[in-house]
Amino acid sequence: MSQTYHHKGFRAAILCLLFTVVTNGYTADTHWLSEPQTKLLNTALKTDYTVSLMSGEVDGVKRNIVLLGEIHIKGGLADAVGRRLLELFPLRGLESVPSESPAAKFLMTPAKITLNSSAAIFGTLLCRNYDSTIVTAEDICCLDSDDSEAEGNHHCQNPAINLYLEQGSSQLAHILGINAVAATIATPILVAAAKYSGLVSPSTLSHPVPYWTIKYLNLSQLSLLADTLLDWLNFPNAAEHLRTFAAPVFPLPYYITSYRNRIMVDNIIQGFRDYPEQDTMLVIAGMAHPPGMARLLEKNYGFEQETLNSEEPE
């Protein structure tokens, strides 16, 4: 499962190096968080995470959401903070699909090899050798304080609930999205290697088919970066218009952000309906997603952003 997230981590980590904007919310007091949760979320803000807090009603019952934006490849401190957060929130929503069909796995194998290689190089260079908290959530599935599973007792008395928030999304879009991201990363490297090694002549690369294919992939990646920059610079309407307008020609930004955000937000609401005894959900997604998810929660479901209390005494 960890292979699914390395390509996202590569892009999200680059964006985090460019922008250190943190979304904390702004309207109300988060009395629904426990003291350990509040302290740990404040610690998370000092590492590789962003935190957005939302509160609203689902079917007339108050529900709370912690949107945790992460870099999918992280350092040791961020990994430790993520693990501890998972232990404090029994209901988790994960940016993930429940499963991939054998055909989908086969079609995505070359892309995953490319993306995982890029992620490994990037992680080594920047000392980010720990996997996504989304992947870790699948390992921390029991909240028993005595860690009974480690002692051979597999009857967990306090199991965690992991919801796969991309359930119901198009598997075709999933396959095309991963391959498109891999292609935009690999193409410049492969073209440069082929050109300077002499394996491919300049005349071949200047042929209309390879030339315009490369140009299209480059423009697609640029449109994705432009869309993400507008989001992070707090121009959400411009970002949404760009995604919608460019979708017929450059579908990658729309799939990576808008389409998946909508699926995940709808599944968050459904998750509260499926588990009515849970009033708070920890949602873990790449940093590019929480801003758009928060807007959809406000617009479609009437949720409001709240302020994370500082751990510092006033």
Domain for residue 139, yes or no?
Answer: yes
Domain for residue 39, yes or no?
Answer: yes
Contact 90, 308 (CB under 8 A): no
Domain of 108 in residue numbering reads as 3-185+241-306
Task: Give the three-class secondary structure for 95.
Answer: coil
Domain for residue 219, yes or no?
Answer: no
Domain for residue 213, yes or no?
Answer: no
One-letter amino acid at 174 equals H
Q: What DSSP letter does each residue of 205-247 carry, written as one string?
A: HTSHHHHHHHHHHHHHHHHHHHHHHHHHTT-HHHHHHHHHHHT
Q: β-strands 304-306, 49-58: how paired?
A: antiparallel
Domain for residue 79, yes or no?
Answer: yes
pLDDT by residue for the chain (314 residues), tens only, comes to: 444 444 444 444 444 444 333 333 333 455 799 999 999 999 999 998 999 999 999 999 999 999 999 988 888 999 999 999 999 999 999 998 887 778 888 888 887 887 778 777 777 787 778 889 999 998 888 876 554 444 444 567 788 999 999 998 888 877 877 777 777 777 777 777 777 777 777 777 778 887 787 787 777 777 777 877 777 677 777 777 777 777 777 777 788 888 899 999 999 999 999 999 999 999 999 988 998 899 999 999 999 999 898 755 44
How many structural domains is the chain composed of?
A: 1
Determine the Cα–Cα distance for residues 294 and 180; give it in Å rounded to an integer: 26
Domain for residue 198, yes or no?
Answer: no
Domain for residue 29, yes or no?
Answer: yes
pLDDT at 17: 42
The alpha carbons of the chain give a radius of gyration, in whole angstroms, of 21
> Which of 291, 266, 306, 300 minimizes the C-alpha distance to 54?
306
Contact 55, 304 (CB under 8 A): yes
Q: ∠39-292-44 over CA atoms, to 5°?
A: 20
Domain for residue 127, yes or no?
Answer: yes
Determine the Cα–Cα distance for residues 134 and 136; give it in Å rounded to an integer: 5
